[in-house]
A = this chain, B = another copy of it.
Amino acid sequence: MKKLLNAPSDLVKEALAGMAVAHPDLLRVQLDPAFLVRADAPVRGKVAVLSGGGSGHEPLHGGFVGRGMLDAACPGAVFTSPTPDQILEATRAVDGGAGVVHVVKNYTGDVMNFEMAAELARDMGIATETVLVNDDVAVENSLYTAGRRGVGTTVLVEKICGAAAEAGRGLADVAALGRRVNDHGRSMGLALTPCTVPHAGKPSFELGPDEIEVGIGIHGEPGRRRAKLEPADRLTEMLMDPILDDLPFRAGKDVLLFVNGLGGTPLLELYVVFRKAHELAAARGLRVVRSLVGPYITSLEMAGVSITLLEVDEEMVRYWDAPVHTAALRWGV
């Protein structure tokens, strides 16, 4: 295992310490239990937006803490959901009296830990709402699974909810908007290489030189099926077709197209995929009105890509365009 780290068990805390000194204007870090909050938290009277999950998906979530996006992020160990006490403490630290929205990716661990934290917060008189993100079309049959995973749409939910909260919208409103974003977003990914969890010390799975995993999550777990490596255009179709058919996305609609790198894939290749995805969306009569390209929700150093398509309405676009000032996403400020 070749990684830039000291002890695997110190990785997350040392990275948090790095964030604290790199972005003192943006955020504050607390270590025990571990969480990040925006520098001016709690913001009186504003709904707070909090998310969290295992580490290893950076910049998600810590890189999205700041004005116009997340009030707090709770990082767990690598690929391990944070614990209820972390989430509870962060919830308390950012509650400005208007309640806290928890943005939760749909994984059993995240769901249960956030659930327990929300129960504890409720007992302390803090109102919370949970927005569950489950946008991964690779998981087809939710009856015999833990349900669809939360992947790329998470970033869009966090941005749009964050902006709505910043604009003064109430707890129920922000949560409802977040759910609407989730309902209109669909994602799918594929991996060219596995990643290595620092504690495990070796790759999570093995792939032959011309094999890929299709329908991959973001935790280094194998995907839904193994396939042959093909040209980028063909692989882009392999992701876009199920996405387009699922909502389904209908001609004439406006969409946000988000091509996400899983960590180890160069930007050059992401733009090659973006080009084809854009072409396929256009061929279905969709208008790509907003774009995002880059590694925003990653799986350590895994090479691969995920595509997210969000059918946007006027309100979502307005909140997408609203100022945001975080380590990883910034505009208008």
A residues with a Cβ closer than 8 A to B are: 2-7, 11-12, 14-19, 21-23, 55-56, 58-59, 63, 78, 192-193, 209-210, 212, 229, 231-233, 235, 263-275, 278, 288, 291, 293-295, 298, 300-301, 303, 305, 325, 327-328, 330-333
Q: List 9 A-B contacts (CB under 8 A).
A: A5-B232, A5-B269, A6-B233, A19-B271, A22-B293, A58-B266, A58-B267, A264-B301, A264-B303
A4 touches B330 (CB 8 A): no
B272 touches A4 (CB 8 A): yes
For A291, list chain B residues within 8 Å (CB): 21-23
Cross-chain contact of A12 among B3, B210, B229, B268 (Cβ < 8 A):
B268
Q: In the complex this chain forms, how many copies of it are found?
A: 2
Considering residues A233, A263, A271, A295, which has the most beta carbons from chain B within 10 angstroms of its beta carbon? A271
Cross-chain contact of A231 among B6, B264, B278, B303 (Cβ < 8 A):
B6
Q: A11-B269, A18-B275, A293-B327 are in contact. List 5 more A-B contacts (CB 8 A).
A: A3-B232, A15-B272, A18-B293, A21-B278, A21-B291
For A300, list chain B residues within 8 Å (CB): 266, 268
A267 touches B21 (CB 8 A): no
Given contacts A22-B293, A268-B11, contact A2 B231 (CB under 8 A): no
Cross-chain contact of A298 among B5, B6, B23, B266 (Cβ < 8 A):
B266
For A23, list chain B residues within 8 Å (CB): 291
- Closest chain-B Cβ to A61's Cβ sits at a distance in Å of 12
For A22, list chain B residues within 8 Å (CB): 271, 274, 278, 291, 293
Cross-chain contact of A265 among B4, B14, B273, B303 (Cβ < 8 A):
B4
Q: Once bound together, how far apart are the Cα atoms of A224 and B216, in whole Å?
A: 38
B333 touches A5 (CB 8 A): no
For A4, list chain B residues within 8 Å (CB): 192, 232, 235, 265, 269-270, 272-273, 305
Given contacts A5-B232, A267-B58, contact A21 B274 (CB under 8 A): yes
Given contacts A4-B305, A272-B15, contact A59 B267 (CB under 8 A): yes
Q: Once bound together, how far apart are the Cα atoms of A23 and B274, in whole Å?
A: 11
For A271, list chain B residues within 8 Å (CB): 14-19, 22, 58
For A11, list chain B residues within 8 Å (CB): 268-269, 272
Task: Give the residue name and chain of the B residue nearest to A12 (CB).
Answer: B268
- Closest chain-B Cβ to A103's Cβ sits at a distance in Å of 20
For A272, list chain B residues within 8 Å (CB): 4-6, 11, 14-15, 18
For A233, list chain B residues within 8 Å (CB): 6
B303 touches A301 (CB 8 A): yes
Q: Once bound together, how far apart are the Cα atoms of A331 and B16, in whole Å?
A: 23
A268 touches B58 (CB 8 A): yes
For A5, list chain B residues within 8 Å (CB): 231-232, 269, 272
For A263, list chain B residues within 8 Å (CB): 264, 266
B301 touches A14 (CB 8 A): no
Considering residues A63, A291, A305, which has the most beta carbons from chain B within 10 angstroms of its beta carbon? A291
